[in-house]
Amino acid sequence: MRSPAIKQTNTHSFSKTLAKDWDRNKWKYILMVPVIVYLILFCYKPMYGLIMAFQNFKISRGISGSAWADPWYKWFENFITDPYFPRIIKNTFTLSGLTILFSFPAPIILALLINEVKNKVFKRSVQTITYMPYFISMVVLCGMINVYCKQDGLFSQIAVALGGTAQNYLASPDYFRTIYVLSDIWQKIGWDSIIYLAAISAIDQEQYEAARVDGANRFQQMLRITLPGLVPIIMILLILRLGGILNVGYEKVLLLYNPSTYDVADVISTYTYRLSFPTSGTPMYSKSTAIGLFNTLVNVVFLVTTNAISKRTTQSSVF
């Protein structure tokens, strides 16, 4: 038990510190205001809408007027017992997993390679060319993929030239994942490598000198100095990436899939999208909100788990 007197001095000193702090940093605080307002308005206030997940929401009646779902987990149950549930969960994890497996390491490798290039002109051109696709809008990019994958498109022509047969690759469930992951790598490899290149340039040059004196060749330097120097940033990005494991880029799937590839391409977010904006019929706000909430919970679990593992093994963590 602490005496009230001490408590009082504490508050006193706190307000004093606060005043002092305000005096010193007031402009920083004022600069923060817009961001805080933004977060409240666009990130916290909309959470009110999550109530819909527990209602039989009707747009004409609004959140305050709609009846509560009975039982409260009705829409969660509806989602989990949906015949499509296993398929979309499987697809979401597969696509997400494949992306993490292949397109997460790709920019790291590219950064390491670029770092070894000595010719300035060549280095700059490679960087520019690899990060250019990032600036193509998703709609245009998918339009290009669509054209290339057609029966008489680029890929078919290459296949024919090599002795294969022409086909529409996007209409075949066998190729969807490959197309999805490869185009993802192509689009993002250059852009994502920038952060690693920045991290590499921050590595102390004396370490390389010391290694050279010890007789390490360039490959050994890369493996023993550059890569370990990158581990903290790699871990942080990986944790963030795993925190979004269920957030498969729905725009891309939506633009690339068609009825013949639903089986491998339909993911949680496209399913939610179809429920919320159906071509006919009523939008199912309650169910899609419930799925959104479910999605977020799974993401949080992944984020926290990876963070904990990373903290224990590599000492780097987001929080």
Partner 1 sequence: MLKKNLKLNILDKTIMLLGGSMKQKLLKAMSVLAVGAVLLASCGTQKVTDVPDDVSAPKSSSASGTGKESTVKPGDISYPLDSDKTVSWYIQDAPQPHEKFADASESPFHVKLAQNLGVDIEWMFPTTGSDGNMFTTTLMADPDSLPDIMTVYFMDKANQYLEDDIIWDLTDYIQEYAPDYYAWLQTNPAYDSAMKTDNGQYYCFGFFREDGGWNDTYLGPVVRKDWLEECELEIPTTISEFEHVIKVFNERYGATFNSAFGRYNAMGICGAFGAYGNAVAGNGWYIKDGKVRFGQAQPEWREYMSWQNKLWNAGLIDRDILTEDDTTIKNKIHNDKCGIAVTSMGQMTNWNQERVADGKEEVWIGIPYPKSDDGEISCVFGGFGIGTQTTVITKAADEETVKLCMQMLNYSYTKEGSLYWNYGTEGETWEFDDKGVPAFTSLVTDDPDTNPMTKYNGTTWNGPAIQATNLLYLKNSKAACDANDTWFYVWPDDEEKNMAVTGGWKWPVGVTFTIEEADELDEISQNIPIYVSESYAAFLTGSKDINDDAVWNKYLEDLETYNLSRVTEIRQACYDRYKNR
Min dist. Cβ of residue 192 to partner 1 (A): 17
Q: DSSP H helical segments within the chain, as ranges? A: 4-39, 62-65, 74-80, 85-98, 105-116, 120-131, 138-148, 154-161, 176-201, 205-213, 218-221, 227-243, 250-256, 262-265, 268-276, 285-314
Cis ω before 71 (30° cut-off from 0): yes
CB nearer to partner 1: pick between 27 and 135: 135
Pairing of strands 67-68, 55-56: antiparallel
> Any contact of residue 295 with partner 1 (CB under 8 A)?
yes
Residue 91 or 226 with smaller CB distance to partner 1: 91
Piece of the chain touching partner 1 by CB under 8 A; list 24-32, 49-57, 207-215, 226-234: 49-57
Q: How far is the CB of 70 from partner 1 (least distance, A)?
A: 13
In the bound state with partner 1, the residue whose beta carbon lies nearer, of 7 and 45, is 45
The C-alpha atoms of residue 269 and residue 88 are separated, in whole angstroms, by: 9
Cα dihedral across residues 228, 230, 236, 238: positive or negative: negative
- What part of residues 274-293 is at the interface with partner 1 (CB under 8 A)? 274-278, 280-285, 288-289, 291-293
Q: Using CB atoms within 10 A of its CB, is residue 299 exposed (0-12), middle (13-18) or buried (19+)? A: middle
**Stretch of 20-28, 112-120, 143-151, 304-312 contacting partner 1, by CB under 8 A:** 143-151
The residue range among 29-37, 38-46, 116-124, 179-187 that interacts with partner 1, by the rule CB under 8 A, is 38-46
Among the listed residues 4, 34, 71, 83, the single contact to partner 1 using CB under 8 A: 83
- Least CB distance from residue 168 to partner 1, whole Å? 5
What count of other Cβ atoms lies within 10 Å of the Cβ of residue 40?
Answer: 10
Task: Out of 86, 97, 105, 173, name the contact with partner 1 by CB under 8 A.
Answer: 173
Reference 196, options 309, 106, 310; nearest CA is 106
Closest to partner 1 by CB, 130 or 269:
269
Q: Smallest distance, Å, CB 260 to partner 1?
A: 3
Least CB distance to partner 1 at residue 51 (A): 8
Would you state the torsion angle of the CA atoms of residues 224, 227, 228, 231, taken in this order, to the nearest 10 degrees?
-170
Q: What are phi and psi of 173, to 5 degrees?
A: -60, -20
- Quick count: other Cβ atoms within 10 Å of Cβ 29? 11
One of 5, 6, 30, 47 touching partner 1 (CB under 8 A): 47
Q: Which of 144, 146, 148 is nearest to 158 (CA)?
A: 148
Taking the complex as a whole, how short is the minimal distance between the CB of residue 67 and partner 1, in angstroms?
A: 10
Q: Segment 225-284, which members bind partner 1 (CB under 8 A)?
A: 247, 250-251, 254-255, 258-260, 262-263, 269, 272, 274-278, 280-284
Should residue 171 be labelled a site residue for partner 1 when binding is judged by CB under 8 A? yes
Verify binding: residue 71, partner 1, rule CB under 8 A: no
Q: Which is nearer to partner 1, 60 or 205 (CB)?
A: 60
Q: Which amino acid is at 258?
A: N
Q: Is the CB of residue 263 less than 8 Å from the CB of residue 87? A: yes
Contact between residue 261 and residue 145 where contact means Cβ atoms under 8 Å apart: no
Q: Which residues bind partner 1 (CB under 8 A)?
A: 42-43, 46-50, 52-53, 56, 58-62, 78, 82-84, 138-139, 146-147, 150-152, 166-168, 170-171, 173, 247, 250-251, 254-255, 258-260, 262-263, 269, 272, 274-278, 280-285, 288-289, 291-293, 295-296
